[in-house]
Amino acid sequence: MAVSVPTDVIPLEQAGTLYGLFCERLKRSPHHAAYHNYSTKDKEWYDITWEEVSTQVARWQDALAKEDLEPGDRVAINLKNCKEWVYFDQAAMGMGLIVVPLYPDDRPDNVAYILQDADVKLLFLQTAAQWKRLVPSITEEHHIKRVVIRNNYDDELASPAMYAEQWLPENWGIIRDWDTDPHQLASIIYTSGTTGRPKGVMLSHHNMLSVAAGSLQFMDVLPNDIFLSFLPLSHTLERTAGYYLPMMAGAKVAYARGIPQLADDMVNVKPSIMIAVPRIFERIYTRLQGQLADKSIIAKGLFKATSKVGWAKFLHKQGRGWWRPSFLTWPLLNKVVASKVKERFGGNMRIILSGGAALPEPVSKLFIGLDMCLLQGYGLTETSPVISVNSPDNNIPASVGRPIPGVAVMIGNNDELLVRGPGNMLGYWNNHKATAQTIDAQGWLHTGDQARIDDDGHIHITGRIKDILVLSNGEKVPPGDIESAIIMDPTFEQALVLGEGESYLSALLVLNSDLWFALAKEHDLDGFDHESLNNKALHSAVMKRLRDLLHEFPAYARIRRVTLTLEAWTVENALMTPTMKIKRPKVIEHHQADIEKMYD
Given CATH 3.90.1150.10, say whether it is the number of domain 17-24+49-180.
no
CA angle 99, 100, 103 (to 5 degrees): 135
| 519 in Cβ contact with 509 (< 8 Å) | no
Distance CA 234, CA 191 (A): 10
Rounded to the nearest angstrom, the gap between the alpha carbon of residue 236 and the centroid of all alpha carbons in its chain is: 8
Band the pLDDT of 4: cuts 50, 70, 90. very low
Question: Does 17-24+49-180 match 468-598 in CATH topology?
Answer: no
| 405 in Cβ contact with 211 (< 8 Å) | no
Cβ neighbours of 155 (radius 10 Å):
13
Cα first-last separation, the chain: 56
Backbone φ, ψ for residue 100 (5° rounding):
-115, 100
Rounded to the nearest angstrom, the gap between the alpha carbon of residue 29 and the centroid of all alpha carbons in its chain is: 29
E-only strand ranges, 102-234: 120-125, 146-149, 161-163, 185-190, 200-204, 226-229
> pLDDT tens, 269-295?
999 999 998 888 888 888 888 888 889
- Does an H or E element contain 90, and which? helix 83-93
Task: Of 180, 60, 175, give the one whose Cα is nearest residue 122.
Answer: 60
For 583, left (φ over 0), alpha (ψ -120 to 50), or beta? beta
> Could you give the percent of the chain with pLDDT greater than 90?
81
- Does an H or E element contain 255, and which? strand 252-255
> pLDDT tens, 437-462?
999 999 999 999 999 999 999 999 98
* Residue 60, C-beta contacts closer than 8 angstroms, at least 6 positions apart: 87, 88, 91, 92, 168
DSSP string, 298-324: HHHHHHHHHHHHHHHHHHHHTTSS---
| 399 in Cβ contact with 458 (< 8 Å) | yes
Q: Residue 65's pLDDT is what? A: 97
Distance CA 310, CA 367 (A): 9
| 130 in Cβ contact with 151 (< 8 Å) | no
* Residue 320, C-beta contacts closer than 8 angstroms, at least 6 positions apart: none
**What does pLDDT average to over the chain?**
93
522 in helix, strand or coil? helix
In terms of CATH, what superfamily is 468-598? Answer: ANL, C-terminal domain (3.30.300.30)
Cβ neighbours of 66 (radius 10 Å):
10
> pLDDT tens, 58-112?
999 999 999 999 999 999 999 999 999 999 999 999 999 999 999 988 889 989 9
Residue 1 has pLDDT above 80, yes or no: no
Domain layout of the chain by residue ranges: 17-24+49-180, 468-598
Residue 596 has pLDDT above 70, yes or no: yes
Task: Of 221, 247, 242, 222, give the one whose Cα is nearest residue 231.
Answer: 242
Exposure string (b/e) for 276-286, b if CB count within 10 Å is 16 or more? bbbebbbebbb
**Signed CA dihedral, 64, 65, 68, 73: sign only:** positive
> pLDDT tens, 307-347?
999 999 999 999 999 999 999 999 999 999 999 999 999 99
